[in-house]
Amino acid sequence: MLSDQVIPTRVLGERGPEVSAVGYGAMGLSGVYGQVEDAESERLLRALLDLGINFIDTADVYGDGHNERLLARVLADRRDEIVLATKFGAGHETGAGRPDYVRTAIDESLRRLGTDHVDLYYLHRVDPDTPIEETVGTLGELVREGKVGHIGLSEVSSDTLRRAHATHRIAAVQQEYSLFSREPESGLLPTLRELDVGLVAYSPLGRGMLGGSFRESSEVENLDQRRRRYPRFAAENLERNLELVRLLHRRAEELGRTPAELALGWLLAQGEDIVPIPGSRSLDKVATNVRAAEQPLERAVVAELGELFPRGVAAGERYAPEFSARLEL
């Protein structure tokens, strides 16, 4: 069923895919933040398509392939409605950028997804032992073969992006970007704009902190697991971050909006080349995310939020050391 909703759209990069201004990150449907039944997840995916979201992001590493197999259920009869993005190369210390690995990875993803192509294929993490030109050269071959529509990178430096883009046009870079994580502004974002490459912002709601789900540590689902991966949930950092969250709640209540609408609205206002992919598991929250695109924030509110959440305001690093070794930014 096609959606009757009309969400604003944005184009990722030069001649890149046109996508809904707010997409959907499906990682949370594979047990990362708590268990969810596959049947419930499938209903959510179909409902968000009905709301007008057409951009869905997954990866081969999410649930060790589970996430892609889950999406296959929806792709089976709604493939034409979906701009499908998946990623490869995370969870491998070396070798993930080699041509043979790239080709194996795409074939396995296509098999799990039950489709003959993906619209956007990302290198999830750069392989330190393979020149980026070699990896992107192979991805370019996949574009010419029709298995991949557009090429993306994730968590890369400006230098890596330039080298990759000189090899084959890059449509998008996926990078954490939110009121809590404004690192792209210091170097990557200007390079993206110079090269006409889109920015797909993952964790735009600060892994739930900015989404309105909790104001106290006792309300955080799967807190122990989050603490192992994300230092901003560690005891010494969480209370400071929740103080900021409560500020956002109060301002949202004053404006008659939700915290998620403010956080996503601020991000959308940073440029037409930015597309956030929140991963809410509640349909009500997905609908709230859509409203952020349909009802832009006033300029004064955008400026105010930028002042309330300056660069570096969040306490703690984005990732624990064992997960951050291959991040270039």
**Each residue of 137-188: pLDDT tens digit?**
999 999 999 999 999 999 999 999 999 999 999 999 999 999 999 999 999 9
Phi–psi pair at 261, nearest 5 degrees: -60, -40
Q: Is the pLDDT of residue 43 over 60?
A: yes
Torsion sign over Cα 139, 140, 145, 150: positive
In 76-89, which positions are buried (b, 16+ CB within 10 angstroms) versus exposed (e)?
Answer: eebeebbbbbbbbb
> What single DSSP character describes residue 185?
G
Helix (H) or strand (E) holding 148: strand 148-154
Which among 24, 33, 62, 177 is annotated as catalytic? 62
Q: What is the mean pLDDT of the chain?
A: 94
Q: Which CATH architecture has domain 9-212+260-297?
A: Alpha-Beta Barrel (3.20)
Task: Identify the band that residue 326 occupies on the pLDDT scale cut at 50, 70 and 90.
Answer: confident
Report which of 311, 316, 127, 126 is spatially closest to residue 228, judged by C-alpha positions: 316
- Residue 93 pLDDT: 63
The per-residue pLDDT for range 5-36, each reduced to its tens digit, is: 579 999 999 899 999 999 999 999 997 776 78
In 108-122, which positions are buried (b, 16+ CB within 10 angstroms) versus exposed (e)?
Answer: ebbebbebebbbbbb
Mean pLDDT of 207-234: 89
Contact present, 160 and 153 (Cβ < 8 Å): yes
Mean pLDDT of 29-44: 88
Task: Identify the band that residue 225 occupies on the pLDDT scale cut at 50, 70 and 90.
Answer: confident
62 is a catalytic site residue: yes
Q: Is the pLDDT of residue 4 over 60?
A: no
Rounded Cα distance between 317 and 324, Å, is 9
Task: Name the percent of the chain lying above pLDDT 90.
Answer: 85
Q: Is the pLDDT of residue 214 over 90?
A: no
Bridging pattern class, strands 148-154 and 172-176: parallel
The per-residue pLDDT for range 64-86, each reduced to its tens digit, is: 999 999 999 999 999 999 999 99
Q: Is the pLDDT of residue 2 over 50?
A: no
Phi–psi pair at 301, nearest 5 degrees: -70, -40
Q: Is the pLDDT of residue 275 over 50?
A: yes
- Residue 5 pLDDT: 53
- Residue 91 pLDDT: 77
Tokens of 227: 């603490």
Q: Is the pLDDT of residue 3 over 70?
A: no
Tokens of 29: 């449907």
